[in-house]
Amino acid sequence: MSEPAVLDAVAGQPRVRDFFSRALQAGRLGQAYLLVGPAGAGQEEAARAVAQAVVCRHGGCGACDDCRRAADGSHPDVRWDRPGSPAGYLVDQVRDVIAEAPLAPVGGRGKAFVLERADRLGPSAANALLKTLEEPPSHVTFLLTAPSVDAVLPTIASRCQVVPFAPPDRARVLQALMAETGATKGQAAWALAVTEDAASARSFLSEEGAARRAACDAMADALLSLGRASSWEAVQSAQGVASLLAAKETSSRPLPDVGALVDDARVAKKVKPGRASALKRVWANVVEGEPADPASCDELAQMVREAREAGRFSEEDADSALEALASSSRAGAEADYLSAGAAKEREKAATRQQKAQERSSIMEAVACAEALLRDLLALAAGSPGPLVSGDRADALRPVAAQLARSGDAPGALLEALDVCARARAQIRSNVTPRVALEALLLSVKEALWRSSSR
């Protein structure tokens, strides 16, 4: 068996790549791994690649439907969890994993469970997971990520094979990010500065990250204009940043008219009238983002592929329709295995995850402020090094010069950075993000422009 193609995603970690390649080719993949290393080292990419290999009937070809769905998060046999609250994982999240693990795979060869930031599994959540992690069903592989072994509870770490990741080479990460996203060097450096890792930076630069980028742009504009803004204007700026992140993002590309494909198939007598009506109801559910019957979704997906091959749908329209069908199909497949109570709990878990993602985006706005303040500190100290917010250099220099004229610029900037650290702690402790951002901008204004704050 040749090396799984999906492992190309971890080419920057040759030892990790060789380790998993040998295990997969020999058919001896373990059942629990702890992937440890600094942010951006590639743990998430490795977890995704191994999850693809777990469900792929070809061992990780990277090209089949199982691999594609595992990569885009729509495969029913790949579950990806993140801490459900600022304090860490919720016990209910872990109970969902425990309940789902024994179920047979829906479509793949096996099942993969990815738990990001396992260092945020508290004692209660960890204790709930221990037995399943120690004796997982034979078809299940657990992939946990963390910054270090020491950060994870010993009871969790001892039940996993530890896979260490070398620190990423920033220049290589930057080049890869530019190649993958088409971003400029300045845009890529900025994305890495305000996100936790390369995977988050890619998402930040993608079409789906538009609201996050807009919020960070608004945060940067607000911070750089604090010297001439009133306290009320600073509060309004914070509210604007929070509103950008709280708003639900809508797709910039409307879904194509798949219902018309069903009508054509009925007219051509390829589909019976009753079946056509059923398929159109399924498509209506897909458009609304609701769970749908997997078999019907597959039937509609085949129509979409044929429409693409015939030139009736563009690649972009076909991809958006197929992605929507895959998402609804996955939700429908999961619903088949869940009782009404369990489905309700899953919905609650999804809501918690959405809130956690919103808080993560708010943290990016705080990181944006920190990045700008560090660049201002470098300019005030006369450092010749590159700025992480290079595309904003022209806007930063006059602000740095104004701060230098006003007095102790380094001291004021260090005080402002402490304000950002406090804002992070407040958001983690469940303070309303909007309130935390208001306090941040007001306190940074006070630290940097005391004379104009009074």
Distance separating alpha carbons of residues 303 and 248, to the nearest angstrom:
30
**pTM of the shown model:** 0.56
With CA atoms as reference, report the closest residue to 194 among 367, 41, 433. Answer: 367
Neighbours of 310 (CB within 10 A): 8
Residue 424 pLDDT > 80: yes
Q: What is the pLDDT of residues 367-418, one digit of tens each?
A: 999 999 999 998 888 876 778 886 788 899 899 988 888 778 889 999 999 9
Q: What is the pLDDT of residues 254-270, one digit of tens each?
A: 788 899 999 999 988 88
Kindly tell me if the per-residue pLDDT of 287 is higher than 80: yes
| CA atoms of 349 and 22, how far apart (whole Å) | 36
pLDDT in tens, 364-379: 899 999 999 999 998 8
In the predicted model, is pLDDT for residue 332 greater than 90?
no
For the chain, list the domains and their CATH numbers: 5-168 (3.40.50.300), 172-250+354-453 (no CATH), 258-339 (no CATH)
| Spatial distance between the Cα atoms of 309 and 316, rounded to a whole number of angstroms | 13
Whole-angstrom Cα distance, residue 143 to residue 44?
A: 9
* pLDDT tens readout for residues 111-163: 999 999 999 898 988 999 999 998 889 999 999 999 899 989 999 999 999 99
More confident residue, 143 or 227: 143
